A = this chain, B = another copy of it.
Amino acid sequence: MQRVTNAVYIKNNHVLMLKKPKRGWYGTPGGKMEPGESIKQSVLREFEEETGLLLTDAKLSSAFTFVIEDEQEWMLFTFVAQASTGQLLEETPEGELEWVPFDKVLDLPMAEGDRRIIKHAISDPEYVLTGTFYYTQDYILQKEFIDGPSELVAEEE
């Protein structure tokens, strides 16, 4: 099973976003876990590879199961951070890095599940959100399942 980690890095009410060449969709920097890594080791390594920044206060913000039509399901662990060391890369092989203000970030083109995850990381950094996203192979969200603090609170189709 694939496991992916990424981070919502916040500074002065902006989020560091990565604009990927494919479709022009945005996402937050991150990538696949390597064998034996903890989820935090993975996100620190991936984020630094893609941005040049080593996060120093990363904490888990959400853990989601991704069910992709006709593919193996995978898991995404998203961290939130507000501090780092290192020098921000000007260019990265994965795409263009861009500081996007809070009031614009949720309007960017991106996978709908990512939108939900970023919204949560910005608005409630203390609570670890969990759930399941159901996607087509083209990353069109078909259904989402969000756990509440104590039980299931929402299922949208």
Q: Does A106 contact B (CB under 8 A)?
A: no
Copies of this subunit: 2
Cβ contact within 8 Å between A60 and B3? no
Bound together, the chains give a CA A132 to CA B1 distance in angstroms of: 17
Interface residues of A in 1-35 (CB under 8 A from B): 1, 3, 35
Instruction: Give the contact-size bracket for chain A.
Output: 35 or more
Interface residues of A in 100-157 (CB under 8 A from B): 128, 130-132, 134, 145, 147, 149-152
Interface residues of A in 33-50 (CB under 8 A from B): 35-41, 44
The residue on B at minimum CB distance from A60 is B128
Cβ contact within 8 Å between A58 and B1? no
- Select which of B3, B64, B128 is within 8 A of A59 by beta carbon: B128
Interface residues of A in 50-79 (CB under 8 A from B): 55-60, 63-65, 67, 73, 75, 77
Sample of 16 further A-B pairs with CB below 8 A, known A36-B67, A41-B132: A36-B65, A36-B134, A37-B65, A37-B132, A38-B63, A39-B65, A40-B131, A40-B147, A41-B147, A57-B150, A59-B128, A59-B149, A60-B63, A63-B63, A83-B150, A128-B128
Residues of A within 8 A of B (CB): 1, 3, 35-41, 44, 55-60, 63-65, 67, 73, 75, 77, 83, 128, 130-132, 134, 145, 147, 149-152
